[in-house]
Amino acid sequence: MIRLKQVSKTYKNKVTALTDISLTIDQGEFVYLVGQSGSGKSSLMKLLYGKEYPTQGYVVVGSRVVNQIKANHLHLLRREVGIVFQEFHLLPQKTVYENVAYVLEVTGHSTASIEEKVMDALTTVGLKHKALDFPSQCSGGEQQRVAIARAIVHRPGILIADEPTGNLDPKTGYDMLKLLHKINKTGTTVIMATHDYSFVERMPSRVIELNKGKIKSDRSKNHTLLLYSMKTGDYFVV
């Protein structure tokens, strides 16, 4: 479970990215975090994986109050959370297999357990056959799938994806969306930030919409209706 209670975030440069955010996300939910660029999506996600701390309020992830976690305990939080970014951040000198295994190696798993987990993750993302290739031999979509495999290889309860389709063409982006929903079906909570509202229409789920750092709307799957405004040329959630 994730809970934010009256959370605000003001950066050192006095920019307030989030104001009075309260929300609860249950285990197993798929949540779209939408809003225009600068609305605070990445800031909210950074609070969930302990990259930033709230200026006010509480952030609870699983059984942990994140704003009380000491820097040397952050790895415990990271065990519960997998993260995917717009950029794939793969290590170019390592193979697909090694890129995914790396996280487990530094946390001291046995070789046999690493192999099983890595092959499981690569199977989930449909890339078992690319295990021995290097990132440069993979397409953009494949590289993002390697990044997703790396994010889920330690079987976290929560997967955070910050604009995971931002560097992909629409078709590949849709494949990625389907993959994230597939991972969600296994019980993993998925929170996906996107400014592309058309995804919501294609695979409806709960939508939390941010506007200038505040929650503008929070709608469950059954209530989500996406409309196209002729006036602004943009989608909006009602």
Interface ranges with Mg ion (CB under 5 A): 41-42
Question: Looking at beta carbons only, is 182 or 212 nearer to ligand ADP?
Answer: 212
| Residue choice 20, 23, 28, 38 for contact with ligand ADP (CB under 6 A) | 38
Report if residue 31 touches ligand ADP, rule: CB under 6 A.
Answer: no
| Residue choice 6, 11, 169, 178 for contact with ligand ADP (CB under 6 A) | 11
Report if residue 204 touches ligand ADP, rule: CB under 6 A.
Answer: no
- Per CB under 6 A, the segment of 13-21, 100-108, 116-124, 226-234 that binds ligand ADP is 13-21
Helix axes of 111-124 and 96-106: crossing angle, nearest 10 degrees = 130
Question: Looking at beta carbons only, is 35 or 164 nearer to ligand ADP?
Answer: 35
Query: CA 222 → CA 148, 172, 195, distances in Å?
Result: 28, 27, 21
Shortest Å, Cβ 43 to Mg ion: 8
**Would you say 218 and 23 are in contact if contact means Cβ atoms under 8 Å apart?**
yes
Q: Please give the residue whose beta carbon sits closest to Mg ion in the complex.
A: 42
Report if residue 54 touches ligand ADP, rule: CB under 6 A.
Answer: no
158 CB burial (10 A radius; 0-12, 13-18, 19+): buried
Question: Looking at beta carbons only, is 28 or 38 nearer to Mg ion?
Answer: 38
Using DSSP's 3-state secondary structure scheme, residue 179 falls into helix
Query: CA 196 → CA 162, 167, 200, distances in Å?
Result: 12, 12, 8
Amino acid at 31: V
Extract the tokens encoding 92. Answer: 């170019």
Using DSSP's 3-state secondary structure scheme, residue 233 falls into coil
Shortest Å, Cβ 124 to Mg ion: 25
| Residue choice 13, 72, 222, 232 for contact with ligand ADP (CB under 6 A) | 13
Contacting residues toward ligand ADP, per CB under 6 A = 11, 13, 15, 17, 35, 37-43
